[in-house]
Amino acid sequence: MPQPGSSPPNRPVLVKDRIRDRDHAGALTPAERQLTSVLLRDYPVAGLNTVTKLAEAAGVSTPTVIRLARKLGFDGFPELQDALRREVSEQIKQPILKGDCWPAARGDSPAFRTFATAVFENLNHTIERLDPGSFDAVAALLADPGVSVRMAGGRITRSNADYFFNHLQIIRAAVMLLPPPVNVWPQYLLDMGPHTALILFDIRRYEGELMKLAELAHGQGSRIVLFTDQWGSPISALADHVFNAAVEVPSSWDSTLAINLIVEALIAEVQSRLGDEALARIERLEDLFSSTRIFRRQG
């Protein structure tokens, strides 16, 4: 495959480097430049859509997408997407998951290093299993102002649901964390339907109350997004989107750090998609804090 001259030695050739190299060489048609503009605007995520959706977003034909992939040196569009998925994985892995990131001279306790190594491995496995298409679809769902969001977690994962709620309700409206006790949940099910997204957190040992909530919400047409462990909560069978995170560590407790990695990435992406709307809500919140003088130090 062609190698752009600007690529540093030993670094894999990035798709965006191939695009710029062909563009500078004048090898792209106007339709292909229109397509590459869309690809680079939301790189590399835009290229992870189906060939049809990418073509529609760029206002070109599907053969144009396929021709561009071949012009960039790939056998076809699936091979181009494989290259983009590898780039996404490598971007997330840098630098914390590289083996050489741990300073050799550090004097950490063996217990801390063992635990931290297990967490790094969890993050690595979680990233490798993450489906970019699902991530993008959930971000779009949560950025849709026509969708009401409800969240719930279990005995351990309620803190993850609370964390997600605290951030999401600042940048968009119609977000609710279902409160304990579970016997009040039916009143929150009253308004759930096709325009509701139910976000659930359920890791081993899986909780029957969350399963029942999922069954009832699913029966009312709600879309379900599940954050679970590598083995998968039974709710997976009902969920529209499932994020499997590795949680096992040398402890009596599972670690939910990998779950929060996905949560924080979603928060960032949803805010990016909401743009000025999210920023306006944040500014309004700051104004409310200022006007009420809540949390200010008293002299």
CB neighbour list of residue 39: distance below 8 Å, 6 or more residues apart: 15, 16, 19, 46, 47, 54, 58
pLDDT, tens only, 203-252: 998 999 999 999 999 999 999 999 999 889 999 999 999 999 999 999 98
Chain centroid to Cα 248, Å, comes to: 21
Q: What per-residue confidence (pLDDT) applies to 5?
A: 41
Round to whole Å and give the CA distance between 88 and 18: 16
The answer to whether the pTM exceeds 0.85 is no
In the predicted model, is pLDDT for residue 70 greater than 70? yes
Domain ranges of the chain: 15-92, 105-286
- CATH of segment(s) 105-286: 3.40.50.10490
pLDDT at 9 over 90: no
Q: Which helix (H) or strand (E) holds 224?
A: strand 223-229
The structural architecture, per CATH, of the domain 15-92 is: Orthogonal Bundle (1.10)
Buried b (16+ CB within 10 A) or exposed e, 194-233: eebbbbbbbbbebbebbbebbeebbeeebbbbbbbbbebb
Number of Cβ atoms within 10 Å of the Cβ of 6: 10
List the structure tokens of 40: 């680079």
pLDDT tens track for 92-125: 555 444 445 555 666 678 888 889 889 988 998 8
Phi (first) and psi of residue 114, to 5 degrees: -60, -45
Q: Is the dihedral of CA 117, 123, 126, 131 positive or negative?
A: negative
- Give 297's pLDDT tier (boundaries 50, 70, 90): low
